[in-house]
Amino acid sequence: GQQVMQIPQYQHVQEGEDFTTYCNSSTTLSNIQWYKQRPGGHPVFLIQLVKSGEVKKQKRLTFQFGEAKKNSSLHITATQTTDVGTYFCAGDPQDRSTLGRLYFGRGTQLTVWP
């Protein structure tokens, strides 16, 4: 069945260091989305990637979608304490038999030490 794997599960960095989380799907995706959940909060949509090889930037955040549309990454440059939270990827399979459901990765919990 459809699976989305995300690594690492935890990442602790010093403020100013970079951070990357990786997402891999067992099947080809139509698109992939990224969400952020602050401690005690709810997931908030960050971005959606649709095209093969697509790269999108949001200030210090860079999102990539693999050429085969089966993997993705989120890279944060020079982390800040406001980046603390759990980052989830969510894949929308190309096979439409899944009827609009997203498959979430387990998430990467980022801790930033000041």
Partner 1 sequence: NAGVMQNPRHLVRRRGQEARLRCSPMKGHSHVYWYRQLPEEGLKFMVYLQKENIIDESGMPKERFSAEFPKEGPSILRIQQVVRGDSAAYFCASRRDGYNEQFFGPGTRLTVL
* Footprint on this chain of partner 1 (rule: CB under 8 A): 31, 33, 35, 41-45, 48, 88, 90, 92, 98-107, 109
Give the residue with the Cβ less far from partner 1, 73 or 77. Answer: 73
d(CA 80, CA 114): 8
Contact indicator for 36, 26 with CB cutoff of 8 Å: no
Of 8, 10, 14, 9, the C-alpha closest to 80 is: 14
Give the residue with the Cβ less far from partner 1, 9 or 80. Answer: 9
Shortest gap between Cβ of 19 and partner 1 (angstroms)?
18
Shortest gap between Cβ of 35 and partner 1 (angstroms)?
8
Give the residue with the Cβ less far from partner 1, 45 or 113. Answer: 45
